[in-house]
Amino acid sequence: MTSSSTTNSGLHAASSATPSQRSSKSGRLTTFQWLFHDIKSLPGRTVTLILSVCIAVALGCSGYLLWADLTSSPIAGCGGGGGWIDCDSVSSSRWSIWFGIPVSLFAIGIYLVMAAALVAGSTQRCSRSVRKVGWTVVTVTALAAGLSAIWFVGIQFLVLKHICVYCMTAHVCGLVAAGTMLAKSPLRGKAMAATASLSLAGLAILVGGQFLTTPPETYRIERFEVPAKTESDGFEFAPPSSISPELTAPGEESSGDDLFEAPITTHRQTRTPLSEFVAKYIPNQPILLDPTMVVSAIVADEGAKPAEASPRIAAIQGGTIKLNLAQWPHLGRDDAKYVVVEVFDYYCPSCRETYAAVAGAREKLGDDLAVMLLPVPLNAACNSSIRITNPMYRESCEVTSLAIAVWRVDPAAFEEFHNWMLQSKTPPTYAAAKAKVASLVDAEKINAELSSGTPGKYIAKHVEIYNRVGKGTIPKLMFPQTSVVGKFTSADSLVELIRREGA
């Protein structure tokens, strides 16, 4: 009896321990595998097709952006120069990297994992357990892509205020994939919450890394190794003629040279009563005509006219483009030792920061430095290279015309106006700029200059130069053999660069 009782007791203990052990084992399995067990019916072909298209498009865009970054190639068909659509500004920002690694590489990794998991989850030959794992991974990566898309779209719209078409296309794919899996994922509530937590953790690592990453250089240096062979070589780019085409004599043709015609600025004509004209230049002669008659004449200055000094020519793009300093808006002496040619926009944030460096360089170099200023409006209304105008540049055409008009009417006032436009943190509106000009220059003269259409012709020439030097990102600080493209904030470094590269 005792033996039997003991045996029965042992069997009872063993039988009672087995469920406990199974429960413990089941608990351990639940800890690691409940994510895969808590699954509804697996998605069908429609979901698979939507995800496949999103993955293919996102991989194509991300792959192209990675290739452009690794090869330092310009991004095709994506605006540039600070317009609303400007891939260069987005791809060169601090938000395009994570500890020096292009974020496009991480995007490729996420979508490749999503693609592999989608194949496993949608292939009928795979076991159901493998398909469950596949769809779980698809859910995690899709949510990660969607959260990352929200982050980067916000950065482009709210921080950079520029859009990269390829980036946005990939982000749309991420949002569509995330939305599809939120609606059709086989995971239930708790499992979905767990996958969302994993995706949020990944986003936190991405964002934290971007804030901790040292921002990349805001400019690049382009070199042109083929200088002009002789002083006469190179394309001499002259400003527009201020004489309207209809004033050309019938049958008269252009010279056919490659030289852009310099502006033919007619001297201001003074209407002088004939009696005064005769009395001054033909003394002791009787006046036989009606003394009320007037004559239009250009009166030459008395005394010998000094010989004209040789023009100060600024060469850029390896000497392939030459600009006569005196014929273009500029600050500094016409015979300065160094000349920097700057392409900018009065409303460009990077240009405003570069202005401080340029002003500091002028202060250090004094009369040795002249800065040729070629304002290029980043506005599609007067710049054909801009496809969609960023709202911050909506008044660029008007303000640029006003600045050129001031330079043509009063160069001294132009310097004050130029400094005033760029010194403040917030760029002045056109109305404020017009009021400032009225305090510097006679309003009638400015209005007459604006009405003449000449400032618009200058803008067209500035845009043509901008296109010839590669358009894209501004500001551009250009020397004979070197161009600095992008924001440049160190006055000391700029002085060193001017002394080394300037001529």
Q: Measured between alpha carbons, how far is 96 from 102 in angstroms, rounded to an integer?
A: 6
For the chain, the residue count is 503
Maximum alpha-carbon separation in the chain: 164
Reference 414, options 436, 392, 444, 447; nearest CA is 436
262, two tokens: 């310099």
Q: What is the pLDDT of residue 250?
A: 34
Q: What is the pLDDT of residue 388?
A: 78
Q: What is the pLDDT of residue 307?
A: 52
Helix (H) or strand (E) holding 463: helix 454-468
String of DSSP letters for 157-197: IIII--B-HHHHHHHHHHHHHHHHHHHH-SB-HHHHHHHHH
**Helices 411-423, 349-365: crossing angle, 10 deg rounding:** 130
Whether the Cβ atoms of residue 240 and residue 263 lie closer than 8 Å to each other: yes
Q: What is the pLDDT of residue 275?
A: 46
Q: What is the pLDDT of residue 426?
A: 86
pTM above 0.85, yes or no: no
Convert the pLDDT of each residue in 66-80 to its tens digit: 988 876 566 887 765
Q: Measured between alpha carbons, how far is 202 from 289 in angstroms, rounded to an integer?
A: 95
442, two tokens: 């006679």
Q: What is the pLDDT of residue 37?
A: 62
Q: What is the pLDDT of residue 503?
A: 67
Domains and CATH numbers, the chain: 34-216 (1.20.1440.130), 235-243+260-266+311-501 (3.40.30.10)
> In a 3-state reduction of DSSP, which class is residue 334?
coil
408, two tokens: 């043509």
Q: Measured between alpha carbons, how far is 154 from 367 in angstroms, rounded to an integer?
A: 46
Block mean pLDDT (10 aa), the chain, length 503: 45 45 47 60 92 97 90 69 75 85 94 96 89 92 96 93 92 97 88 88 92 72 60 60 40 36 40 45 46 38 53 88 93 93 92 92 95 94 86 93 96 96 91 96 94 94 91 89 87 91 76
Q: What is the pLDDT of residue 216?
A: 63
